A and B are shown apart, each in its own frame.
Chain A
Amino acid sequence: MNSIRLRSFSHFFLALFLTLAAVGNSSAQDVGAAPAVSKEGVTPGSSNAGNASAAAAPAAAATPGAGGGDAAAIAAGDALFKGNCAQCHAVNDVVVGPALAGITKRRPVSWLIPWIKNSSKVVASGDEYAVKLFNQYQKQQMPSFQLSDQEITSILAWVTSQEGGAKAATGGGAGTDKADPATDTKLGADAGGAGQYADVLLIVLVVVLIVLVVTLVIIANIMKDVLRGRKDLDGRDVEILEQRFDWSKLYKSSAIRIGAGVVFTLVILYESVQGAMGVGLTQGYQPTQPIAFSHKLHAGENQINCAYCHTSVYKSKSANIPSANICMNCHSQIKTESQEIKKIYRAIERKQPIQWVRIHNLPDLAYFNHSQHTQVGGIECQTCHGPIQNMEVVYQYSPLTMGWCINCHRETPLNTKGNGYYNNLVKLHDQANGAAPFTVSSNGGTECSKCHY
């Protein structure tokens, strides 16, 4: 009998333990994800702006050191670079065109301006350097850009400033490779540290509690056995000793029954409300795509800027799905034997566009504009799309519900820096509200007709 009772107790404890473990696990997962994101942010040599805010931070910090032009020109250059050049160039990496670090030292600005405006003209003029460059990069022509001289100078200023930042980063990390991961974990600990500590403490407490209860039960059983061995017990003592918990009374108690009924109803109600709220929610939706394209490989390992393929993400409402000719920029040369890439060749040959499965489906009644968030708001792709650089197959990271949108608009401060549109608004806001942050919603960003029309 006792052993049975003990077993039921142990079952209960096992269940308790498992539950706690599960909770602990899920929070541990969150904790695990946090450093992963921030780690990506400071990947060495990541100069592409599409990646993470951490990349922008050292760049900004390094600006005075680089001493390349005034801040406004660099800021303008940043936007222009993203809009025009980032598809093919990175500062420190060869993407389609050459890496741009040190470009102003390699060629004079007076050569660069005509080159950027119309490279084929320079090549045609027989310029030695230009012809060499042209041949070196598979005779792929750089398109002409309708940029003013001033715009080109600001792009160059931005490139110079970036190159300074990158150097500082690589220079610092060259000797001490371990320094980087160290700062990473520290960053991670900073981010999720408090939560992790509480979890560990909780687990320890639970374990101690379980050990304590088990010990107590064992002691109680031993004591009972000892008592049973004694003959000098009177009737009342025997009664106490042989006392058993009457489960049927518990079962028959109306109070318990009502309580259980109420709890049951509440749980069902809660679950159905939750279920109803979740109708149409597709968070985590991860369909199989016709081509096994890996963002982990392209965006993560190969560090290709998001805007290289999603060309209109900084200028349009839609961050377009790349057309097959963009794939061909690289895959006309690279991995031509892959079965997956052959699917693209086939699509082009048969003139049948690739039918990707759409993952992020906003309802038609909601208007969303990518460029408002990326170009103007300065939001990173990962903020909404999650750790896309780790996704082998893309899934929907955010719930994309109105509550989620509104919440972000309430909490996110406006990216007003250096934007002439907001100058007066910031002044007015500061006068009226002092220290309160100037969030999107305080500028009317939660009004209906911002998204519904």
Chain B
Amino acid sequence: MQDSPKYWKGIEELENSPEFTKNAFSEFGDFLPMKEAHGSSDATVAPRRDFLKLMGFGIAAATLASCETPIRKAIPYLNKPEEVDPGIANFYASTYFNGSDYNSILVKTREGRPIKLEGNPESPITRGGLSARAQAAVLNLYDKGRLQHFTIKGNKADKDKVDQEIRTKLAGATGRIAIVSPTIISPSTKKVIAEFAARYPNTEHVMYDANSQSALLRANGGVLPAYDFSKADVIVGLGADFLGTWISPVEFAAQYVTNRKVSSEKKSMSRHYQFETMLTLTGSNADVRVPVKPSEMGATTLALYNEVIGGGSAGSSKEIKKVASDLKAARGRSLVVSGSNDVAIQTLVAAINQSLGNVGTSVDLTTPSLVRQGDDARLLRLVNDMNAGSVGAVIFYNANPAYDHPLAEKVKSGIAKVPVSISLNDRLDETGALCYYACPDHNFLESWNDFEPKRGYLSLSQPAISPLFATRQAQDSLLIWSGNTKSYYNYLRDSWRGVLAGDFQKAWDKAVHDGVATGTLAPATQPQLAPTMSVDQAVSAVTASPKVTGVELCLYEKVGIGAGGCEANNPWLQELPDPVTKATWGNYVAVPRDMAVTNKWEQNDVLKVSVNGAKPIELPVLIQPGQAKGSVSIAIGYGREKAGRVGDSVGANVYPLAVVRDNSLVYSNVVQLEKTGATSPIAQTQTHHTIMDRKSVVQEATLAQYIKNPKEVTEYETISTPDGPQKPNKVSLWQDYEYKNHHWGMSIDLNSCIGCGSCVIGCQVENNVAVVGKQEVINRREMHWLRIDRYYSSDAHKEDFEEKGKLATYEAMEHPSENPSVIFQPMMCQHCNHAPCETVCPVLATTHSSEGLNQMTYNRCVGTRYCANNCPYKVRRFNWFSYYSNEKFEDVNSHMFTDLGRMVLNPDVTVRARGVMEKCSFCVQRIQLAKLEAKKEKRRPKDGEVVTACAQSCPTQAITFGDLRDPETRVAQIWRREDGERAFKVIDSINTQPNITYLTKIRNRDKSEFNA
């Protein structure tokens, strides 16, 4: 009899597909296909030529080994900068904003080259957290796909010549001049653009967002409200993926989790309802999630509006009634957000928040957010004007509408009709390649800039490296063209005068040092072209919207790739598993299970997706639990053609499937799906590295249970002994270690972990983890040291036994849920005190340290892989190839191949060779560094000084790391406080005694799950 929720990693597991069962019990996928090149029929016979090759190699290697060691040079500075010491990292405060999420960052540089981005704890907005995209942005600096010089018609050109020609042509331009950009939150850049507009009076600045929020802006009078999720006890999300991609996910995640953390002192948490089509990161974290088709979103919002404001209507579902009553009970302490780009829906949501009294508490209209300012109508008008020939010149500043706009074809034809087209994009992308001139912008790590993500909150970015290529900062280009000889740095400084109080030089230095400041420079926002809507109009618009028949398509943004900017060419992000589907390298059609069953589609079957009037696209099927019935979802941001070697032709571009309706973009449509007969495997990671048993791996309980008795929310396993059931650690074959100096330990709060994947990238950057590419992920050989396991659990409840009867309930449990609960669990080396891997290594390459670390010594490893076979947590990774020199990986792992790319590697961590095992080291290089700093200062390390890359990057502080020997550290306190309550070790019964403890997830849900 099962008394805990049934967890499953994916559909394959629940159905026990042959593929899954074959792989579940083998640590490694197929062995290396040695013979693939010969096409030999008999794989067991080594051909004579192989023998000769090996002989030849042996002789050559022996000769080489006896040669002289190569001469190495040591080249010092000519004039060493005072603050740079070789071997010591310098940190510079800066800002990452790429038209999507805003992050205040610290740039870690070694010998003058940026090697890692970390969160800036000084920032009141991101509070030291960092999104996965921002973590990976450091690699964009060393991207070979960047345009390295100015061009005219794609040919290298001299800067001065380009400037001269552009100035002449701009002066003589007939018709409007348009500057097209994504949202710009830099006040000084806007000033530069205003100056440009003053010089060329016909100039219009058009901002648009690849994943538009125009409707939200329109519904709130042209401003984006600032939300505070920490002030909401009841949160209702209507298709807004606010933890993953919507507006400012890092900021929202930190707020959201403050009100979700529980402890024996604080036994309360917010309740989160989510109505959405695709199972998003946010929906996975919701307490109650309701799948809704895109076309029903309006009706759902209206029903909620009626329940909250009006007297309610009989037609409302029981979920809506429940949500409305919860909302009304939490007046002023609730929040409703919608991700829809339909102004009617946004108007209703604004009205709901207004009537609940949330404006002023969780919704702030006085200090609005500025990170989305795009106006769909403006770009649409520009596209029409370009095609009509009334535009004299167009400048694209980091904007790529020839790719990321539904009307990309019209944009392309329009650019051809504009006499002067200039691209300031960092590469010759889809738009840049069509422009006559290309004047590439610096990377953000090479530039000065300022940002105002929210009115009153300023931040700066400063160059952390000299420009790598012959590029020029876009603002400088605009200044030069408008005849201003001032450099942008001086321009920026001057525009900050008067904002900073006190002595300017001092205040400026402090602002540069901290990276953030208070004060406002934001100019008045542009008025929206399309008119606002009254609530009555909105109600009638929603009511009047036609009934949709057919399969609905929902377009969504992925956490890693986003809208497909320069992230597309970033192999780290391409290989970052999607938090929910765990798919890497490409997009797919997510379909609900019943639709797949009805149409006899199987996972990986390629479907033709066609919309009336658009070119059909072909993508494989992914069966996605939680996908709303009658709908499918596809991610935007893929199918780039000119992103670079990594990003080109990964997945398919679905922007053309979006529609333009009433001057705004609608990211849903009705589609026809047709099986093509081909298959295309999706590189999913979830069923890889399957843990031996699910019971006692993840644990969860409801808030009600937790309030009743915190000691009963976690199930502790016991083992049978002659003296009755005992804790597993009562019986042991091993001797215990005694830790005299330090005992490093970690705690991971499953209640705070939202599964965003920031830690995965943080770990990858810090530890030089190789990228392996799509085929190797399919071969189950990804190298991530830290993975986030996503488990679905059945939605059967204990009460179902009474309601539906036992047999029916059990039968229901046999089928995968249509709308399962999701739980995320970061999984890395558990640093067991009784480590099974250590005992089986024949060469002692993996050993235990006197500080509790499970050490992996690469130079000793001979690659027997016994350790990985014996690891119950499946966290060891084997290097099947030389990922840094095998040309098979040159495209995906390019940063380990070229001198330019290698600049991003962490010089304190070895790049592992082929044939050795590797795994999480608890960032031992950071531990050693922090210890050394303490020793130099003749003291013990303080709590918070020793921190792993994953703990540091976590936006929600779910991961805590520290010294368990020191009772004052946070991690030691958590271990003590939660012992017997929420703290549990994964697979405790085998008594490996991990140094990582997990805290049981608590859901704020009414019905109790299957749990003791």
Contact = CB atoms under 8 A, between A and B. Distances in A.
A353 B925 contact: no
A321 B858 CA distance: 30
Interface in B831-874: 847, 849-851, 853, 855-860
A388 to B, nearest CB: 16
Nearest to A347: B78
A450 B65 contact: no
A161 to B, nearest CB: 18
Nearest to A318: B87
Contact of B851 (A354, A376, A428, A444): A444
B89 to A, nearest CB: 10
Contact of A280 (B69, B77, B88, B935): B69
A312 B74 contact: no
A356 B857 contact: no
Interface stretch (A37-45, A233-241, A418-426): A418-426
Interface in A217-263: none
Contacts of A449: 849, 853, 855-857, 921, 924
Interface string B975-996: 0000000000000000000000
Nearest to B76: A321
A358 interface: yes
Nearest to B66: A279
A452 B912 CA distance: 11
A371 B931 CA distance: 12
Nearest to B65: A279
A79 B936 CA distance: 9
Interface in B913-928: 921, 924-925, 928
Given A315-B88, A318-B86, A421 B939 contact: yes
Chain B interface residue number, banded: 35 or more
Given A280-B69, A355-B73, A326 B938 contact: no
Interface in A64-98: 79
A447 B73 contact: no
Contacts of B71: 287, 357-358
A372 B930 CA distance: 12
Nearest to A360: B74
A375 B74 contact: no
Nearest to A324: B78
A102 to B, nearest CB: 29
A127 to B, nearest CB: 25
Contacts of B86: 312, 316-318, 320
Contact of A323 (B73, B80, B850, B860): B80
Contacts of A351: 78
Nearest to B844: A448
Main DSSP-derived SS at the B contact region: loop
Contacts of A421: 931, 934-935, 938-940
A365 B849 contact: no
Contacts of A425: 740-741
A323 B910 contact: no
A343 to B, nearest CB: 13
B924 A355 contact: no
A421 B855 CA distance: 23
B85 interface: yes
Contacts of A315: 85, 88, 936
Interface in A409-424: 418-421
Interface in A305-325: 311-312, 315-318, 320-325
Contact of B80 (A326, A357, A418, A450): A326
A404 interface: no
Q: Which of A279, A311, A365, A449 has the most chain B CB within a 10 Å cutoff? A: A449
B467 to A, nearest CB: 18
Contacts of A448: 847, 849, 855, 857, 860
Contacts of A419: 935, 938
B72 interface: yes
A447 B855 contact: yes
B464 to A, nearest CB: 19
Contacts of A453: 908-910, 921, 924-925, 928
B905 to A, nearest CB: 11
B75 interface: yes
A324 B88 contact: no
A376 B859 CA distance: 27
Interface in B926-967: 928, 931-932, 934-936, 938-940
A429 B71 CA distance: 45
Nearest to A415: B935
Contacts of A190: none
Interface residues of A, number: 54
A237 to B, nearest CB: 62
Contacts of A370: 87
Contacts of A357: 71-74
Nearest to A316: B87
B857 A355 contact: no
A443 B859 CA distance: 23
B965 to A, nearest CB: 10
Nearest to A314: B936
Given A357-B72, A447-B855, A376 B935 contact: yes
A367 interface: yes
Contacts of A364: 910-911
Nearest to B922: A449
Contacts of A318: 86-87
A320 B76 contact: yes
B79 interface: yes
Interface in A271-318: 279-280, 282, 287, 311-312, 315-318
Contacts of B88: 312, 315-317
A452 B79 CA distance: 33
A356 B76 CA distance: 8
Nearest to A450: B928
Nearest to A370: B87
A311 B80 CA distance: 11
B72 A372 contact: no
A353 B77 contact: yes
B74 A358 contact: yes
A339 interface: no
A323 B935 CA distance: 28
A312 B75 contact: no
A357 B935 CA distance: 33
A324 B85 contact: no
Nearest to B742: A444
Contact of A444 (B66, B850, B910, B932): B850
Contacts of B940: 420-421
Contacts of B740: 425, 428-429
Contact of B75 (A279, A280, A354, A447): A354
A348 interface: yes
A325 B910 CA distance: 32
A355 B75 CA distance: 5
Given A312-B88, A365-B910, A367-B908, A282 B936 contact: no
Contacts of B938: 418-421
B883 to A, nearest CB: 16
Nearest to B71: A357
B79 A325 contact: yes
A2 interface: no
A369 interface: yes
B61 to A, nearest CB: 12
B933 to A, nearest CB: 9
A369 B77 contact: no
Q: Which of A279, A312, A324, A452 has the most chain B CB within a 10 Å cutoff? A: A452
Contacts of B85: 311-312, 315-316, 320
Contacts of B910: 364-365, 452-453
B909 to A, nearest CB: 6
Given A320-B85, A324-B79, A365-B858, 8 more contacts: A318-B86, A324-B76, A348-B79, A357-B72, A369-B87, A444-B851, A448-B860, A453-B928
17 contacts: A279-B66, A312-B88, A318-B86, A320-B80, A320-B86, A324-B76, A348-B79, A354-B75, A357-B72, A358-B73, A369-B928, A376-B932, A420-B938, A420-B939, A444-B849, A447-B850, A453-B924
